[in-house]
Structure 1
Amino acid sequence: MALYSEEKICSLGLVKEALPKHVAIIMDGNGRWATAKNLPRSAGHRAGTDRLRGIIRLTSDLGIDSLTLYAFSTENKKRPADEVATLMSLLIEYFTKEIDELNENRVRIRIIGAYDEFSAPVRAAIENAMKRTETNTGLNLNIALNYGSRAEIVRAANLAMQQALRDGKNEITAEMLEQNLYTYGRPEVDLLIRTSGEQRLSNFLLYQVSYSEFLFPEEFWPDFSDEAYLASLRAYQNRSRRFGGVEENA
């Protein structure tokens, strides 16, 4: 699918040059969506997985560089075994069924988190998806699986310290730490969205969102439509990002 033209982006109420380069989304509310409809939680997770297709396609069409999705946290492993099994099954299904369209749209998949702790079938599906898309040059899609930001920072610090010791140094720099984060090589996160109205980070990209804009739309993730996403992008473009400084006319 071709990128939207500047005219098309303008017709959506957006300015191409002011779009975020990196959007991160905490996809929250699948279970509550299902409960509100008297459906099992598994139905909510399936509906949430279905919603991925539209959001990824729209992000790609807009020409945004990177999209990072919080799909499964280290804390999610504490959920009931049948719910975790459903989530793992949906992961395999997603990577199997969606890989052709992702490839057609030149999406490159990177998994962030300790996915090596998953079962062999899940790992195989993940690794196949990454391998098949590794040379794509479109949207960089980072999917956080078995991810926790505190663990990521500790891991990065340990790797940076090992590097420092090899170089005969006894301290690390911010640059060395950042080089060992899962998201290294991607733009800084400009916009973090958490659906369902909850206003917390839940151990997601704590280092990377230091200067991000936060938005907390009320929709549960399965109801987070393309228009709701566009509304969030418009709201982002109306923000004044000062990065600790002051506005020139202030």
Structure 2
Amino acid sequence: MDGNGRWAKKRHLPRAMGHRAGVEAVRKTVRAARDLGLEAMTLYAFSSENWKRSEEEVSDLMGLLRHYIRNDIDEFVSNNVRLHVIGNYRALAPDIVEMIEDVLTRTKDNDGTSLAVALNYGGQDEIVRAARTVAAKVANGEVDAEAIAVEHIGEALDTAALPPLDLIIRTSGERRLSNFLLWQSAYAELYFTDTLWPDFTPEHLREALEDFRSRDRRFGGR
């Protein structure tokens, strides 16, 4: 979800205003995903590299996260949305961790659209953590080192409970993955748009899905 800062700069506003506008785009997009019947959607909300930003900006982002959870939890519950969180979210502030785990508990039995939020997430870190999990099973005699397969890694990833990744949408004109779902994106389709995230609408989502439907997905088979 790129472009919050550039959106604010174009309007001569503080970066914080861009992030707030980005939250509104999140709300609209999540509702559209539900209405379109999407099985699952993952939002890259805060990367493990975002800690490098200014203390003021990080503080504002954490404040927005608190506000979003507090104000949208009832909508998740009432609309049958199930929340997942990927990344090391337990390293966040204790009150945020408590709020997240409350939402996870309250939505765990929902069977509509799954919304995964990537918090303190990095694709390389996720793969390293998964490798450690598999290594521990080898050390405990649960898995033969020579028998390690793709499935063992997949089961140890943060996304193990989610369906396979089909489409990655990257906003704001960037043309890279930026450490997002590196393992899962092996055969995902990529869609790039110059639209800044705060300007991203349900119609933009529909356009991306229409483009996806036109793709010939071969998965290396032909």
Cα distance change on mapping 1:243 and 1:120 into 2, 3 Å: same
Cα distance change on mapping 1:196 and 1:162 into 2, 3 Å: same
Task: Provide the rounded CA distance (Å) in 1 between the counterparts of 2:201 and 2:143.
Answer: 52
The equivalent of 1:141 in structure 2 is 115
Spell out the pairing of 1:75-94 with structure 2 (5 A cutoff). 75-94=49-68
Equivalent AA in structure 2 for residue 221 of structure 1:
W
Task: Provide the rounded CA distance (Å) in 1 between the counterparts of 2:144 and 2:186.
Answer: 27
Structure 1 segments, 4+ long, off by >4 Å, are none
Equivalent AA in structure 2 for residue 60 of structure 1:
R
The equivalent of 1:229 in structure 2 is 205
Structure 1: state its 5+ residue gaps: 1-26
The equivalent of 2:69 in structure 1 is 95
Equivalent AA in structure 2 for residue 164 of structure 1:
V
Task: Provide the rounded CA distance (Å) in 2 between the counterparts of 1:112 and 1:121.
Answer: 18
Equivalent AA in structure 2 for residue 170 of structure 1:
A
Normalised TM-score (structure 2) = 0.96
Structure 2: state its 5+ residue gaps: none
Task: Provide the rounded CA distance (Å) in 2 between the counterparts of 1:186 and 1:74.
Answer: 21
Spell out the pairing of 1:62-73 with structure 2 (5 A cutoff). 62-73=36-47
Spell out the pairing of 1:1-250 with structure 2 (5 A cutoff). 27-166=1-140, 167=142, 169-171=144-146, 172-246=148-222
Task: Provide the rounded CA distance (Å) in 2 between the counterparts of 1:132 and 1:185.
Answer: 17
The percentage of aligned residue pairs carrying the same residue is 46
How far residue 168 of structure 1 moved from its aligned partner, in angstroms, is 6.0
How far residue 125 of structure 1 moved from its aligned partner, in angstroms, is 1.6
Normalised TM-score (structure 1) = 0.86
Task: Provide the rounded CA distance (Å) in 2 between the counterparts of 1:196 and 1:238.
Answer: 22
Number of equivalent positions: 220
How far residue 185 of structure 1 moved from its aligned partner, in angstroms, is 2.6
Task: Provide the rounded CA distance (Å) in 2 between the counterparts of 1:202 and 1:40.
Answer: 24
